[in-house]
Chains A and B, each alone.
Chain A
């Protein structure tokens, strides 16, 4: 079993839909939770960062962390074709914050 599980997709939605992306993990030491967006043939871009549990909102994006369930989510409201990309969840432990464990990535396609 992988430490971080993420559905690879592809996930195809119409423009304007609400998108829900999720990851589950097994390591209870994880305290830092990130979502990266990666466009084709580009480097990953940090989208959202959360420390420990809770919600964080930034524009159309909301990140949620439920440590009791070992489950994190990224919601995208009013999805746009420009949101089409691969979304990677990543997490790390408090004393090894820079040692990221990535999920496999979910490919999202938003159709006009």
Chain B
């Protein structure tokens, strides 16, 4: 199983809504990531979890709140978003080799978010 599964595939929400994006992998990877991707742009790193602990937060606004309940699951809680937050949100995971992470990330299909 080499899949990273993201739900929902599409989400439309208002600026006052609270919603969550979910990500799951069963490859035994110990690092999980959230990326944001706008049209015709490369992915931008938001958060990294390593061994279920938040290791990197790329100065993301607090209206995005990540959570890693266990080594297979990653959530992104959304609250009071702005229209400019509309984007494709990508989850990824990676394994470590001899204690080091390489750049071999496995991405999910993404959750396309529209904020009205």
Chain A residues packing against B (C-beta within 8 Å)? 8, 32-34, 36, 41-46, 49, 51, 88, 90-92, 94-95, 97-100, 102-105
In-complex Cβ contact of A44 among B43, B45, B101 (8 A): B43
B105 and A100 contacting across the interface, CB-CB below 8 Å: yes
Q: 8 nearest interchain CB pairs? A: A102-B42, A98-B101, A43-B107, A97-B101, A32-B103, A92-B103, A97-B102, A34-B103
Min CB–CB distance A30 → chain B (angstroms) = 9
The A contact surface, by secondary structure, is strand
* A63 vs B31: C-alpha distance when bound (angstroms): 25
A98-B48 contact given A44-B90, A103-B42, CB 8 Å threshold: yes
In-complex Cβ contact of B33 among A41, A49, A98 (8 A): A98
Residues of B within 8 A of A94 (CB): 100
Residues of B within 8 A of A91 (CB): 103
B94 and A98 contacting across the interface, CB-CB below 8 Å: yes
Identify 7 residue pairs between A and B in the complex whose beta-carbon atoms are under 8 Å apart, listed by A's number.
Answer: A8-B40, A41-B110, A41-B112, A97-B101, A97-B103, A99-B45, A103-B42
The bracket for how many chain B residues form the interface is 20 to 34
One digit per residue, 1 when the CB lies within 8 angstroms of any chain A CB and 0 when it does not, for chain B 49-72 equals: 010000010000000000000000
A34 and B104 contacting across the interface, CB-CB below 8 Å: yes
* A63 vs B48: C-alpha distance when bound (angstroms): 27
B106 and A46 contacting across the interface, CB-CB below 8 Å: yes
Of all chain B residues, the one with the shortest Cβ separation from A34 is B103
Min CB–CB distance A94 → chain B (angstroms) = 7
One digit per residue, 1 when the CB lies within 8 angstroms of any chain A CB and 0 when it does not, for chain B 84-116 equals: 000010101010000011111111111010000
B103 and A100 contacting across the interface, CB-CB below 8 Å: yes
Min CB–CB distance A33 → chain B (angstroms) = 8
A98 and B103 contacting across the interface, CB-CB below 8 Å: yes
> Which of A42, A44, A103: most chain B Cβ within 10 A?
A44
* A108 vs B70: C-alpha distance when bound (angstroms): 38
* A69 vs B105: C-alpha distance when bound (angstroms): 25
Q: 18 other contacts beyond A34-B103, A51-B102, A105-B40, with CB at 8 A cut-off?
A: A32-B103, A41-B88, A42-B109, A43-B108, A45-B107, A49-B102, A49-B104, A88-B42, A90-B103, A94-B100, A95-B100, A97-B100, A97-B101, A97-B102, A98-B101, A99-B48, A102-B42, A104-B41
